Amino acid sequence: MRPMNRKIIAVASGVLAFGVGAAMLWPGAGATVAAPAPPSGASWPEVASVKAPITALFDDREAMGETRALLVLRDGKVIYERYGPGFNADSKLISWSMAKSITAALIGFLVADGRLALDAPAPVAAWQRSGDPRGNITLRHLLHMSAGLEHVEVVDPAWEGDTVAMLFGAEARDMAGFAEAKPAVAKAGEQYNYSSATSVILADILADTLAPGGDAAARRDAVLEFIRGRLIEPTGMTSLTPEFDAAGTMIGGSIMHATARDYARFGELLRGKGMVDGQRLLPQSWIDFMRTPSATDGGYGGHIWLNRARPAGSDAALWPQSGPNDLFACIGHQGQFIIVSPSQRLTVVRLGISRDGDQLPNARDKLRAMMAGL
């Protein structure tokens, strides 16, 4: 996730608030979860290299911000789970830009079904006029954030950018109409430009494919039914709640809600290369596409962040200098993470609120240290 400035944090945090409950450790209040002993023979998570960063994430709020949930899975089994005060395993927390990766998976289902094509012109009606350069934009370009559209994710003042205008301003009733009306400012595939509006275009394509010509209610219902049948029921992500605008378009770039456990289930789908409990949900080729560096930013794949070097001057997303090369993550504003490390057999979920400029780098570094200790 490209960091937003503090004014966006203030606007967004003032608009949305989410469920609370009693603090707990899984499986019961005050409990800890047993895990295989590390090579030293000490009991995890008492190993200092793991315990210290976890303690900092929850206790050092001035430096880290607020950690509301931390969940660690190895081989698909919970080995550690903890919640901050006021939150528990039933708390549904916002995804912010982790939603982008879920949107990519939904597009993958339709590509696998043969209803969409990765390298065909994106089926957006507003771009089909003769001579319109936007007619050359493909799903691959959209998923790689290289569509070449005049999208502005971060700007100061925040309300002059696309993100706040689209999510909370006058454009909120028809987010896709706003996003798709933007002119081309670069050739498709030429420049990386991270944009929540781009993900909303993908969500619009999803709805148009499932409910062609439908009204807002038909579009919303078709997408919800599709998500239930293809993602929620097969994975068990029963808490997953996407949000929609007044036009029936899913807000696929930033606003979904789910429990930490269900975000972990999505991470496990990706770690399993599209398989869940022996059932093939997504083709491995689609997961491979998502995890392959894009041509314009080596640290970004198909709507997912990779533990690879980014172009000079780009903000850090993960930790390519010290982590496994195959590590990847869904990342959301204010420090939402689903981190998957296939070589370590790990899926980690961290949810909370960390300021971009000072707290988020600290929280990210503690996650790195914790995973290095595992």
Q: Is this model's pTM higher than 0.75 or not?
A: yes
Q: Count of residues for the chain?
A: 374
Cβ within 8 Å of residue 67, ≥6 positions away: 57, 58, 84, 350, 351, 352, 363
21-92+256-373 and 98-242 share one CATH topology? yes
CA–CA separation, 203 vs 167, rounded Å? 14
List the structure tokens of 230: 């293809």
pLDDT value at residue 44: 59
For the chain, 374 residues long, the average pLDDT of each consecutive 10-residue run is 40 35 31 37 66 97 98 96 97 98 98 98 96 97 98 83 91 97 98 97 98 98 98 98 98 97 98 97 98 98 98 95 96 97 98 96 98 94
pLDDT value at residue 351: 98
pLDDT of 61-102, one tens digit each?
A: 999 999 999 999 999 999 999 999 999 999 999 999 999 999
Which has the closest alpha carbon to 281: 266, 298, 293? 266
Extents of the domains making up the chain: 21-92+256-373, 98-242
| SS3 track for the chain | CCCCCHHHHHHHHHHCCCCCCCCCECCCCCCCCCCCCCCCCCCCCCCHHHHHHHHHHHHCHHHHCEEEEEEEEECCEEEEEEECCCCCCCCCEECCCHHHHHHHHHHHHHHHCCCCCCCCECCCHHHCCCCCHHHHCEHHHHHCCCCCECCCCCCCCHHHCHHHHHHHCHHHHHHHHHHHCCCECCCCCCCCCCCHHHHHHHHHHHHHHHCCCCCHHHHHHHHHHHHHHHHHHHHCCCCCEECECCCCCECCCCCEEECHHHHHHHHHHHHCCCEECCEECCCHHHHHHHCCCCCCCCCECCCCEECCCCCCCCCCCCCCCCCCCCCEEEEECCCEEEEEEHHHCEEEEEEEECCCCCHHHHHHHHHHHHHHHC
Mean pLDDT of the chain: 89
* Partners of 205 in the β-ladder: none
CA-to-CA dists, residue 47 to 44, 347, 365, angstroms: 6, 19, 17
List the structure tokens of 5: 């400035």
Cβ within 8 Å of residue 320, ≥6 positions away: 299, 307, 308, 309
pLDDT value at residue 182: 97
CA-to-CA dists, residue 355 to 38, 61, 133, 246, angstroms: 33, 11, 38, 30
pLDDT of 94-139, one tens digit each?
A: 999 999 999 999 999 999 999 999 999 999 999 999 999 999 999 9
Cβ within 8 Å of residue 111, ≥6 positions away: 117, 118, 139, 286
Classify 262 in phi/psi space as left (phi over 0), alpha (psi -120 to 50) or beta: alpha
**Thinking of the domain 21-92+256-373, which architecture would CATH place it in?**
3-Layer(aba) Sandwich (3.40)
pLDDT value at residue 16: 37
Helix axes of 196-210 and 216-227: crossing angle, nearest 10 degrees: 90
| Domain 98-242: top CATH class | alpha beta
- Determine the longest span between alpha carbons in the chain, in angstroms: 68
